[in-house]
């Protein structure tokens, strides 16, 4: 690694993470969702792979994966989408994927049921 690259990594590691504004936190769920949907419409978002689920008060935007996509493509898609939302909405926005429930068939056969946490 060259020295310049290491310095940029170090600067990014110590960068202050933007926090959601009071204006954003005071919006109700449907208003935040409408803002995100509007930004997605502006960027011609392809909803065949990801589905918008929720925009939380802290700036977290949750998506559900609809179709299998390999990890490298998924990572690139999510980073591009996060970049667009940061640009169109605010820099405190960050994307998360909705957690999947337990798909292990052996645990289901033994009668063990792991439920996903609901908020």
Average pLDDT estimate for 31-55:
91
Distance CA 83, CA 95 (A): 10
User: What pLDDT does residue 46 have?
Assistant: 72
User: What pLDDT does residue 48 have?
Assistant: 85
Are 64 and 97 in contact by the 8 Å Cβ rule? The answer is: yes
* Single pTM value for the model: 0.72
pLDDT of 96-116, one tens digit each?
998 876 666 665 566 656 666
Question: Where do the domains of the chain lie, and which CATH numbers do they carry?
Answer: 3-100 (3.30.300)
Average pLDDT estimate for 79-103:
87
Of the pLDDT bands very low, low, confident and very high (cuts 50, 70, 90), residue 72 is confident
pLDDT of 21-40, one tens digit each?
999 999 999 999 999 999 99
Are 45 and 77 in contact by the 8 Å Cβ rule? The answer is: no
Length of the chain: 119
Of the pLDDT bands very low, low, confident and very high (cuts 50, 70, 90), residue 53 is very high
């Amino acid at each position: 690694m060259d020295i310049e690259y290491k310095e940029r990594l170090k600067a990014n590691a110590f960068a202050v993470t933007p926090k959601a504004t009071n204006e954003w936190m005071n919006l109700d769920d449907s208003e935040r969702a409408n803002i995100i949907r509007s930004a997605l419409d502006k960027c011609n978002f392809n909803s065949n792979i990801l589905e918008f689920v929720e925009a939380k008060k802290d700036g977290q935007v949750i998506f559900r994966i609809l179709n299998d996509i390999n990890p490298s493509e998924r990572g690139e898609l999510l980073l591009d989408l996060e970049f667009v939302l940061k640009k169109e909405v605010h820099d405190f926005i960050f994307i998360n994927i909705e957690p999947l429930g337990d798909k292990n068939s052996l645990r289901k056969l033994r009668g063990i049921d792991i439920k996903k946490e609901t908020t």
